[in-house]
Amino acid sequence: MGGRGDSGCMKPNSGCMKPNIAVFCSGNGSNFEALVKNNRKGKFPGSIELMVTDNADAFAVLRAQRLQIPVLFVDPKRYVSKEDYEKVLVRELRRFSIDLILLAGFMRILSPYFVKKFRNRILNIHPSLLPAFKGAHAIKDAFEYGVKVTGVTVHFVDEGVDSGPIILQGSVSVENNDTLSTLEAKIHKLEHRIYSQAVNIVLTKKWKISRRRFVLLS
């Protein structure tokens, strides 16, 4: 397994071929379910051991129960500060020996404290071709702008918002007869495929981060 991670299974030549993975969700969880199913089909190594949520009522929780994935709910309202909340997350992730974090509709911005703890070991998927259309309403924003092409970006999480090094992107055409609903369906279909591809690249290829670029090594 290659990469320029800071610790654990993401270190070059670490010999750890089966990283423990946690998926963070806040809502519907369709990407979470796709990741679990693709992982079980062998489309990327390791094992999804945990789903973390900040929303006890998220439909993703029901998906996790059906898929027999343990759920960790940590209520941010119980903590005075974001750092106090994230310290609990870090402690629990260590208890589960988590090596890699996949954000899948997790609607909280992670602090520099948390990002530092898992540098280059947090991936996120965003429904646009970053850096275009950052933020929570990317599909709607792209559709209303009138773009002819949009897509999906998988990137590492850094201290900014939708600003980390890009691992993989995929595009979809916006046709004249598309509605917001049909475009959303196209985007979600692409997300369910491309996220697993990106995870596989990170876990099976040798790579480095150079001047913000994710670079595959020969």
What is the domain-level CATH number for residue 95? 3.40.50.170
User: What's the pLDDT band for 150 if we cut at 50, 70, 90?
Assistant: very high
57-86 pLDDT tens trace = 999 999 999 999 999 999 999 999 999 999
The pLDDT value given to residue 13: 38
Percent of the chain with pLDDT over 90: 89
Percent of the chain with pLDDT over 70: 92
Is 86 part of a structural domain of the chain?
Answer: yes
Examine the residue annotation and report whether 137 is marked as an active-site residue of this protein.
no
User: What's the pLDDT band for 218 if we cut at 50, 70, 90?
Assistant: confident
Is 184 part of a structural domain of the chain?
Answer: yes
The per-type count for the chain, helices as H runs and strands as E runs, is 6, 9
For Cα atoms 128, 154, 70, give the angle at the middle one, nearest 5 degrees.
115
Between 161 and 101, name the one with better pLDDT: 101
Domain count along the chain: 1
Q: Please pick, among 126, 137, 155, 188, the residue that the annotation labels catalytic.
A: 126
The pLDDT value given to residue 74: 96
Average pLDDT of the chain to the nearest whole number: 92
The DSSP line for 57-80 is T-HHHHHHHHHT--EEE--GGGSS
Is 2 part of a structural domain of the chain?
Answer: no
Average pLDDT over residues 124-148: 97
User: What's the pLDDT band for 12 if we cut at 50, 70, 90?
Assistant: very low
14-65 pLDDT tens trace = 444 589 999 999 999 999 999 999 999 999 999 999 999 999 999 999 999 9
Is 218 part of a structural domain of the chain?
Answer: no
Is 217 part of a structural domain of the chain?
Answer: no
Could you tell me the residue range of the domain that residue 122 belongs to?
8-209
Is 1 part of a structural domain of the chain?
Answer: no
Rounded to whole angstroms, how far apart are CA atoms 184 and 64?
A: 23
Is 215 part of a structural domain of the chain?
Answer: no
Single pTM value for the model:
0.92
Residue 6 backbone phi and psi in degrees, to 5: -90, -25
CB 4 within 8 A of CB 120: yes
Rounded to whole angstroms, how far apart are CA atoms 6 and 24?
A: 20
The pLDDT value given to residue 18: 82
Is 44 part of a structural domain of the chain?
Answer: yes
